[in-house]
């Protein structure tokens, strides 16, 4: 599969927006006196590229864990989300930022947030590179959003279509 030009967001546009987000998060943590010990939890696999850039754009020292949720086949959400990999450290008492590639129906983020909340983090926030609010089926709102988009299926910068396209530097609408 090859990207369809022009991209929805170019690599340069993404890079600029991710740095802005990183600074916004830094500023918030600073303002709220939480800049000491941030734990990023990145949702595999889609947010790997995003979190790599985000954490390097932040001045706040972070540690990183991963979580894996399955429940998406092709372009349709199955509505059924299973956690297949969990963070190695507990989030109890920690200041946590969950990092997602995209919020679609919201089911994945919802299940993960509930799971993390149950462990009793000191603070829990959500950052999503992309948000498709028109697709939402459960109530989930991100504290930080890179770009809000219409109901397109997008590929690149970590996001896949059947495991392809994660390596594309830009974000493209999936060719029909
Ligand atoms: P949700 O549970 O429906 O919110 O879907 C979230 C997950 O579905 C994301 O973490 C992505 O892995 C996948 N997903 C949703 N929309 C897209 C898209 O446009 N492109 C690629 N993956 C998507
Ligand atoms: Mg996916």
Find the CATH number of the domain harbouring 95.
3.40.50.2020
Question: And the tokens for 43?
Answer: 């949702």
Q: Is residue 40 part of a domain?
A: yes
Q: Which atom of ligand 1 is nearest to the CA of 81?
A: 2
Whether residue 73 has pLDDT greater than 90: no
In a domain, 78, yes or no: no
Known catalytic membership, residue 26: no
pLDDT for res 71: 80
Question: Which protein residues touch ligand 1 with a CB less than 6 Å away?
Answer: 43, 46, 72, 77, 100-109, 153-155, 159-160
Write out the residue range of the structural domain in which residue 130 sits.
Answer: 11-72+86-166
pTM (two decimals): 0.95
Q: Looking at the CA of residue 107, tell me the nearest atom of ligand 1.
A: 2
The answer to whether position 129 is within a domain reads yes
pLDDT tops 90 at residue 167: yes
What is the chain's mean pLDDT, rounded?
Answer: 94
Ligand in nearest proximity to the CA of 109: 1
- Bond before 4 cis per omega within 30 degrees: no
Q: What is the Cα–Cα distance from 112 to 67, expressed in whole angstroms?
A: 8
Q: What is the pLDDT of residues 15-59, one digit of tens each?
A: 999 999 999 999 999 999 998 889 999 999 999 999 999 999 999
Residue to probe by mutation, ligand 1, list 4, 42, 67, 72, most atoms within 8 Å of CB: 72
Residue 80 domain-assigned?
A: no
Q: Is residue 51 part of a domain?
A: yes
Work out which ligand 1 atom sits closest to the CA atom of 72.
8
Q: Is residue 124 part of a domain?
A: yes
CA of 33 to the centre of ligand 1 (A): 33
**Residue 6 falls inside a structural domain:** no
User: How far is residue 130 from each of residues 31, 33, 61, 78, measured CA to CA in Å?
Assistant: 25, 27, 24, 20
The total of structural domains in the chain comes to 1
Q: Does the residue 1 lie in any domain? A: no
Does pLDDT of 7 surpass 80?
yes
* pLDDT for the residue numbered 114: 97
Taking the centre of ligand 2 as the mean of its atom positions, its distance from the CA of residue 29, in whole angstroms, is 29
Q: Cα(151) to centroid of ligand 2, in Å?
A: 15
Question: Which helix H or strand E contains 50, and what residues bound it?
Answer: helix 48-57
């Amino acid at each position: 599969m090859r990207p369809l030009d022009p991209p929805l967001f170019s690599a340069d546009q993404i890079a600029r927006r991710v740095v802005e987000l990183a600074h916004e998060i830094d500023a918030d943590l600073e303002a709220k006196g939480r800049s000491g010990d941030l734990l990023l939890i990145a949702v595999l696999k889609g947010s790997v590229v995003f979190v790599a850039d985000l954490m390097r754009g932040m001045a706040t020292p972070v540690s990183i864990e991963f979580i894996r949720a399955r429940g998406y086949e092709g372009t349709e959400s199955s509505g059924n989300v299973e956690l297949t990999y969990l963070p190695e450290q507990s989030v109890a008492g920690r200041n946590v930022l969950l990092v997602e590639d995209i919020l679609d129906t919201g089911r994945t983020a919802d299940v993960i947030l509930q799971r993390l909340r149950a462990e009793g983090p000191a603070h829990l926030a959500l950052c999503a590179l992309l948000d498709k609010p028109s697709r939402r089926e459960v109530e989930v709102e991100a504290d930080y959003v890179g770009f809000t988009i219409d109901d397109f299926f997008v590929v690149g910068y970590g996001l896949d279509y059947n495991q392809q396209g994660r390596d594309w530097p830009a974000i493209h609408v999936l060719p029909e």
